[in-house]
Amino acid sequence: MNTVKRVFLIVAGSISLGMGILGIFLPVLPTTPLLLLAAACYVRSSDRLYQWLITNKRFGPYILNYREGKGIPLKAKIMGVTLIWISMLFTVIVVIPLVSIKILLLGIAAYFTRFILKQKTLEKHI
């Protein structure tokens, strides 16, 4: 793998992991999608970091539940979809003047909303 690409993926994964950790404490950040992004970056760039992440007692279960088809927690789904639409609507209404870009962003938001909602919801076992 190209060194620049590898470093980029490690940095992106580490930023995503950091934001996912913040998401544990801040209800505004969705933890599970950010941890899944970190895992996706690490699996393509660093086997050592990926193994550490999936075997971590705090973060590993989020990733393994998704990978094993058990699903995503309902709270993560709600937060993910909510944040997608808040950020996209803000961008479309306030930031972006071009109609074609607004339509593109709304399409992206709709695609990822559909993707998140199609995922199985993780059932909690008490």
- Which is it for the CA torsion 94, 95, 99, 101, positive or negative? negative
**Global pTM exceeds 0.75:** no
User: What is the per-residue pLDDT across 26-52, written as a single tens digit (0 to 9) for each?
Assistant: 766 677 778 888 999 999 999 999 999
Give the DSSP H or E segment for 72: strand 72-73
Percent of the chain with pLDDT over 90: 33
How sure is the predictor about 1, in pLDDT bands with cuts at 50, 70 and 90? low
How far is the C-alpha of 94 from the C-alpha of 90, rounded, in Å? 6
pLDDT digits (tens, 9 = 90+) for 4-27: 999 999 999 999 999 888 877 776
